[in-house]
Amino acid sequence: MKSTGNDIVALNAIDIQRTNDSRYYSKFLTPAEQALYQQTPADITFERFVWLLWSIKEAAYKYLKRHDAGLIFSPIKFVIQGLNVPTDIAIHSFNGIYWDSDHNTGNFITGTVIYNNEQLSVRAKLFNELIITVVNADAQFENVYWGFQLIDRTGHAHQAEEAKSFALIKLKSVLDISDLNILKSEIGYPVVLDGGTPLDIALSFAHHYRFVGYSFKL
């Protein structure tokens, strides 16, 4: 089953006080997931931890939704196990315009997320401004590309257009096909086409506030 799923959380768009309220995070984190915080380095604030786990669950939902149109996002049912945050993780500000997975291959936050009998591997990066996450069935993430971009303004239509343009640039560079296009499937996931012919590529978009991102698997 070829698929991909990603997510972005813009940390300046979250409500820190609310995030730290147990009434809030206990809606989507199990006690076992909350306990994972004890194993994460002190550099990771609790609100970042909460949104990291949310982001993993959302990315996993997108991954599975591609082949299960009726799937409803029930975050409590996506169970995160074995979250590994590098002990030497240094959280930097994101000063650039974009980042993609060609830039480096290491120092990711990794882990596992399970939904029913499906088990997915996680890679995530944490900046001061955002969390980006991608999930994949294969823990090596072979042929998986992912990235995010800072855009000039918010607004759903603008975010969608920017995410599409950003993904097309990367897809064209990887595939060496000039006539690529992206349309939406009936159930709402993006489909990559060469001319009018759909390609066997799984693509996912994410956006939050002034960040947009993609992941795709060839």
Binding site for another protein (CB under 8 A): 9, 13-15, 18, 23-24, 27-28, 51, 54, 58, 72-74, 76-77, 155-156, 188, 207-208
> Which CB, 141 or 189, lies closer to another protein?
189
Helix (H) / strand (E) element for 170: namely: helix 156-175
Minimum distance, C-beta of residue 200 to another protein, in the bound complex (Å):
26
> Which CB, 50 or 171, lies closer to another protein?
50
DSSP state of 40: S
Minimum distance, C-beta of residue 25 to another protein, in the bound complex (Å):
8
> Which CB, 67 or 77, lies closer to another protein?
77
Identify any residues that bridge with 198 across adjacent strands, giving them in sequence order: 193
> Which CB, 23 or 197, lies closer to another protein?
23
Minimum distance, C-beta of residue 188 to another protein, in the bound complex (Å):
7
> Which CB, 72 or 90, lies closer to another protein?
72
Backbone angles phi, psi at 130, to 5 degrees: -160, 165
Please list the alpha-helical segments (H only) found in 9-89: 16-19, 22-25, 31-35, 46-65
Minimum distance, C-beta of residue 71 to another protein, in the bound complex (Å):
11
Do residues 201 and 185 lie in contact, with contact meaning Cβ atoms separated by under 8 Å?
Answer: no
Minimum distance, C-beta of residue 84 to another protein, in the bound complex (Å):
24
Minimum distance, C-beta of residue 104 to another protein, in the bound complex (Å):
26
> Which CB, 8 or 203, lies closer to another protein?
8
Identify any residues that bridge with 111 across adjacent strands, giving them in sequence order: 122
- CB proximity list for 129: less than 8 A, separation 6 or greater: 10, 11, 12, 93, 94, 211
Query: CB neighbours (10 Å) of residue 170?
Result: 18
- For 150, the token pair is 């800072």
- For 39, the token pair is 């194993």
Do residues 146 and 131 lie in contact, with contact meaning Cβ atoms separated by under 8 Å?
Answer: no
Do residues 147 and 98 lie in contact, with contact meaning Cβ atoms separated by under 8 Å?
Answer: yes
